[in-house]
């Protein structure tokens, strides 16, 4: 699941010409749960990935340089 998340982020960044700075301690704990990515938003230099875990929203913020 982490690989899928990573690939989706890079595919998205590729299309916007950005580079991701991954924060492993933020993303790695999520790889053991089932994640549905339902929105990827690119605002200024920040990409917000909103995922769902047990009906709670989790926001992952990734800086783009």
* Weakest mean pLDDT among 17-21, 40-44, 45-49: 17-21
Backbone angles phi, psi at 4, to 5 degrees: -60, -45
What does the pLDDT read at residue 52? 62
Which of the four pLDDT bands, split at 50, 70 and 90, describes residue 25?
very low
Number of domain units in the chain? 1
Q: What are 39's two structure tokens? A: 């929105």
Which of the four pLDDT bands, split at 50, 70 and 90, describes residue 50?
low
**Residue numbers of the domain that contains 38:** 2-63
Q: Is the pLDDT of residue 54 over 60?
A: yes
Report which of residues 46 and 39 the model is more confident about: 46
How many residues does this entry show for the chain? Answer: 65
* Residue 23 neighbours by CB under 8 Å, 6+ apart: 62
Interval 17-34 mean pLDDT: 48
Using an 8 Å Cβ cutoff, are 51 and 17 in contact?
A: no
Q: Give the sheet arrangement for strand 46-53, strand by strand.
A: 36-43, 46-53, 56-63
């Amino acid at each position: 699941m982490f690989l899928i998340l990573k690939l989706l982020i890079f595919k998205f960044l590729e299309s916007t010409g950005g580079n991701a700075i991954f924060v492993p301690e933020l993303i790695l704990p999520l790889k053991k749960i089932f994640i549905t990515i339902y929105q990827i938003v690119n605002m200024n230099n920040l990409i917000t990935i909103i995922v769902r875990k047990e009906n709670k929203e989790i926001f992952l913020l990734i800086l783009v340089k």
